[in-house]
Amino acid sequence: MAVAYDASSESHTGTTGSQSEASFSWTHTPVGSPTGALIFVMQDTSSTDKVSSVTYGGTTVPAVTGGRAADTVGEPRSCKAFFLSNPPSGAKTVLVTRTNDTTVMYAVAITVTSSVASTEVYLPGIVLQQADTALSEQSVDDGSPGSNSVRFAAIASALGSAPNAGAHSTAIQTIDFGASTARVVRQTTAGQGSLPVGFNDSSDDVAAVYLAVREAANVVTVTVTPGSITLSSPGGWGVEPWGTLPWGTGASVVVTRTTSLSPAAVTFAGAVVTIARKYTVTPGAVTFLGKTIILSGGTTFVVDLPGSALWDDPVATWSGSATWAGGAVASVVLAGQSITVQSAHILVTPGAVTHAGASIAVPRAISATSGTITLAGQEIAFTGVTTFIVDTPGALTLAGAAVAIGRTFPVTAGAVSFLGVIVALSSRVPVTNNALALQGQAIAVAIPFSPPAQTGGPPTPAPGLERLHKLRKHYGLVRR
């Protein structure tokens, strides 16, 4: 994964720039499919910002924050950077709208490609030179994002000839006005960290901007308003469709990287919601109300104090690892018609987990510390190496029509209640300092367990092994 230089173009050739006109334009033709467009606009004889706007293929290109250098003494001049993440593909018109006066302007457009959907300028790494200065390459940091970035430098100079490119730089566009010049260079070899780019020449009045273009940060921001939610990030990182989604609509929402929310509440109410990576809420609430919810890959949900993650959906399907690690008074509610957790570990510390769907299958572990786990669907099946842990003080209630526990069920200083019509326990159920209530119409235990003495008992004696075999076969319970 890396950013690569794609192509460059200039607004003017020869020795004459833009002067005494309201705008100027040219066509930029990328070589590949660009994920970023960088435009430098250089002014000769004036340090006042006289650029009103820049567009690329009709799309406004934002000015780079902190990306303007202005030499205000001696021979004034300026250099300003603009950057558009995830620009439109193909040959596009670059339009610079300016003050209509005698100030001479010259501009350069650059496109970059990358292995991700969008790129960005690393703002903390920007370096400016804006005085009578001897030129040397500048160290430009990209924040070490984990992949190579490309650095660029643009200069408006009072030197009589174009300033020399430095040892680690390659000139890409130049204009010579006679008494002054402008030049843009790129880093010859992309890299990561603080690396040199720029010029090597004698002292004179200059306005120069040095910056790094890197892969966009893996952050999607969710903004919630009374009527809509808006998904946004630098350049639209990993979310389809992009923009604002009204409550209760939206055919598909896909979050492929990290979604952050702080502090607020967010509701996804589309037909399909797919979460591929990490979702963080601090503090706030997350509600998924679509028909299908798919968590794939190494999905992690983190809800800090005070917050909750809520799935309330006719069909909710997990197809990956899902971990909830809530702060105090956090809860996870799973309330769909059919809920399947594959290879999942649900953790709440402290808090509550509620399963209230018609059919719930959990093949792995559910644990709670100082919390409550409630399973209240019509069918609840725990298969494979299922382990339930309820620590002090905790309670676990299974209240579905059919409950099948495949393996171990340890409880320490908590309460466990089985309230379904059918309860099948195929292995040990150890209980310490606790009450264990089996109140279904049919209860089957393959291997005897020894809970502490307690009053009362199950209303119906446990059926024999033949009944247990039928129950285990019906619910697909495989003993290991």
pLDDT tens string 255-313: 655 565 555 566 665 556 666 555 666 556 666 665 566 665 555 555 554 556 665 55
CA-nearest of 184, 234, 262, 135 to 7 is: 184
End-to-end CA, the chain: 43
Task: Say if residue 244 is in the same domain as residue 224.
Answer: yes
For residue 122, the enclosing domain spans 3-215
Note the pLDDT tens digit of each residue in 170-217: 999 999 999 999 999 999 999 999 999 999 999 999 999 999 999 875
156, 186, 215 — which closes off a domain?
A: 215
Instruction: Classify residue 84: in a domain, yes or no.
Output: yes
215, 248, 277 — which closes off a domain?
A: 215
CA-nearest of 172, 168, 166, 171 to 195 is: 168
Task: Say if residue 210 is in the same domain as residue 323.
Answer: no
Task: Say if residue 178 is in the same domain as residue 279.
Answer: no
Average pLDDT over residues 419-429: 66
Say whether pTM exceeds 0.75.
no
**What is the reported pLDDT for 464?**
38
Note the pLDDT tens digit of each residue in 26-35: 999 999 999 9
Instruction: Classify residue 363: in a domain, yes or no.
Output: yes
Rounded to whole angstroms, the Cα distance separating 388 from 366 reads 5
**What is the reported pLDDT for 433?**
63
Average pLDDT over residues 304-326: 55
Note the pLDDT tens digit of each residue in 75-130: 999 999 999 998 999 999 999 999 999 999 999 999 999 877 778 999 999 999 99
Task: Say if residue 246 is in the same domain as residue 124.
Answer: no
Task: Say if residue 265 is in the same domain as residue 362.
Answer: yes
Segment (H or E) for 467: helix 465-474
Task: Say if residue 234 is in the same domain as residue 376.
Answer: yes
Residue 360 contacts residue 382 (beta carbons within 8 Å): no
- Residues 6+ positions from 61 with CB-CB distance below 8 Å: 37, 39, 54, 55, 82, 83, 84
Instruction: Classify residue 480: in a domain, yes or no.
Output: no
Task: Say if residue 279 is in the same domain as residue 202.
Answer: no
Dihedral angle, C-alpha 134, 137, 138, 143, nearest 10 °: 170
- Among 223-227, 389-393, 476-480, top mean pLDDT goes to 389-393
Q: How far is CA 340 from the centre of its chain?
A: 25
- Among 59-63, 236-240, 339-343, 381-385, top mean pLDDT goes to 59-63
Rounded to whole angstroms, the Cα distance separating 116 from 234 reads 12
215, 247, 279 — which closes off a domain?
A: 215
Whether the pLDDT of residue 225 is over 60: the answer is no
Task: Say if residue 371 is in the same domain as residue 385.
Answer: yes
Query: What is the 8-class DSSP label of residue 446?
Result: S
**What is the reported pLDDT for 395?**
72
Q: What is the count of structural domains for the chain?
A: 2
For tokens 């780019």, the residue is 197
More confident residue, 362 or 375: 375
Average pLDDT, the chain: 74
Instruction: Classify residue 479: in a domain, yes or no.
Output: no
Task: Say if residue 356 is in the same domain as residue 433.
Answer: yes
More confident residue, 154 or 247: 154
**What angle is formed at CA 17 by the lines to CA 11 and CA 18, rounded to 5 degrees?**
85
* pLDDT-based confidence at residue 334 (cuts at 50, 70, 90): low
Residue 341 structure tokens = 């957790």
Rounded to whole angstroms, the Cα distance separating 463 from 472 reads 13
Task: Say if residue 367 is in the same domain as residue 438.
Answer: yes
The region of weakest confidence among 39-48, 124-133, 387-396 is: 387-396
Task: Say if residue 225 is in the same domain as residue 111.
Answer: no
